[in-house]
Amino acid sequence: DGLNIKKSSEALIFWEKTVNVGYEDRNFQEATQKEESFTLLNLNVQSITNKRDLLSEFLLQEIVAIACITEHWLAAGNTNTFNLRGYEVARCYTRTNSTHAGVMILTAVGTTFEPVDMIEKLSVDRHIEMCLAKSLAPENAINLDESKRIFNDVPVVGSGAMMLFEVTEEEIIAEVSRMKPRTSRDIYGFSVILLKRIITTIVPPLCVLVN
């Protein structure tokens, strides 16, 4: 009966992974090995308001830097109830019209990550469920370029996985901005197209976190 049960569309689907990434400089000028680690959590939740206590209990048992929650069906005015012990609501937004779904980002108190503001408008306008956060400290950045302190947590719809990308805020916003607005019924197609654009025009994923 916990947060890790996946039985049907009414159950929670979650990915939790501590990422240890070691890789070489993509320029191959020097085979520089770097390794960083952090833990992120992606939750796709039905009726999150009924699972607040479960979420709080689960987070207390884990060491999670950021929890990105999508499809939470939560009114913006109720987000203060999710300032759980040790966590705070860093960003929350829902649709401005009759369509469903939204995104809520919980960050551990004292975290060095913060949400990227522009994604809220792009996500609502284009009906895409995406959490984007940036590192505020070089030691937490999983990259070789000091200017690219971004990780993009994008669930791969229907595949039970999500991808982690080394991109800048400007790059991801530019790609989303070029795409035409779609209706909520096109969320699946929009997500697939966006992932393909990121992979082919910006950079391949650093890693794929498989459920």
pLDDT of residue 125: 54
pLDDT of residue 169: 63
pLDDT of residue 151: 45
Q: Taking all residues of the chain, what is their mean pLDDT, rounded to a whole number?
A: 57
What Å distances lie between residue 62 and 10, 18, 93, CA to CA? 23, 10, 25
0.85 exceeded by pTM: no
Q: pLDDT per residue over 115-139, tens digit each?
A: 665 555 555 555 555 555 555 544 4
Residue 114 to residue 204: CA distance in whole angstroms: 23
| Residue 181 CA from chain centroid, whole number | 20
Domain extents in the chain: 13-210
Amino acid of residue 22: G
pLDDT higher than threshold 80 for residue 61? no
Q: pLDDT per residue over 74-115, tens digit each?
A: 565 666 677 788 888 877 766 555 455 566 778 788 776 666
Residue 27's SS3 state is coil
User: Of the segments 6-10, 16-20, 77-81, 157-161, which one has the largest average pLDDT value?
Assistant: 77-81
pLDDT higher than threshold 50 for residue 149? no
Enumerate residues 6+ apart whose C-beta is below 8 A from 134: 113, 114, 116, 149, 150, 151, 169
Q: Which range (64-68, 75-79, 100-104, 189-193) has the least confidence?
A: 189-193
pLDDT of residue 199: 67
pLDDT higher than threshold 60 for residue 40? yes
pLDDT of residue 56: 81
pLDDT of residue 89: 80
pLDDT of residue 110: 74
pLDDT of residue 50: 74
